[in-house]
């Protein structure tokens, strides 16, 4: 299973039990999120000491409904609180990490 070239191929990878070990931490984190495992996604994002990790972290806290914590992480990611839906932000994050 190589790096997915688009969202369609990413979604096909969801039938697997684990993300590809060669993928970036960001893509693995989003894979777990899309699979419905918030904790696994958060564990990876929490260990990413980068703007990208902060963005995922912000999104995950937004998803759990913790606006205060999400705001903090969006600031750390140099991003504004999004005006798009969670679903759209999730797709944006996946597409971003596919492209990296």
Taking only the tens place, the pLDDT of each residue in 28-80 is 999 999 999 999 999 999 999 999 999 999 999 999 999 999 999 999 999 99
Q: How many domains does the chain fold into? A: 1
The answer to whether the pTM exceeds 0.85 is yes
Mean pLDDT of the chain: 94
pLDDT of residue 100: 75
The answer to whether position 17 is within a domain reads: no
User: How far from 9 is each of 13, 51, 91, CA to CA, in Å?
Assistant: 6, 25, 13
Alpha helices, DSSP H, located in the chain:
7-13, 25-35, 38-47, 51-63, 67-76, 86-98
User: What residue numbers bound the domain in which 76 lies?
Assistant: 26-98
Residue 5, pLDDT above cutoff 90:
no
Contact partners, residue 36, CB within 8 Å, separation at least 6: none
């Amino acid at each position: 299973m190589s790096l997915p070239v688009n969202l369609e191929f990413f979604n096909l990878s969801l039938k697997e039990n684990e993300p590809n070990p060669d993928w970036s931490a960001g893509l693995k984190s989003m894979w777990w999120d899309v699979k419905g495992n918030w904790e696994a996604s958060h564990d990876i994002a929490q260990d990413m000491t980068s703007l990208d990790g902060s963005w995922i972290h912000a999104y995950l806290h937004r998803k759990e409904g913790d606006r205060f914590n999400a705001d903090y992480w969006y600031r750390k990611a140099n991003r504004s609180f999004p005006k798009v839906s969670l679903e759209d932000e999730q797709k944006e994050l996946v597409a971003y990490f596919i492209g990296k």
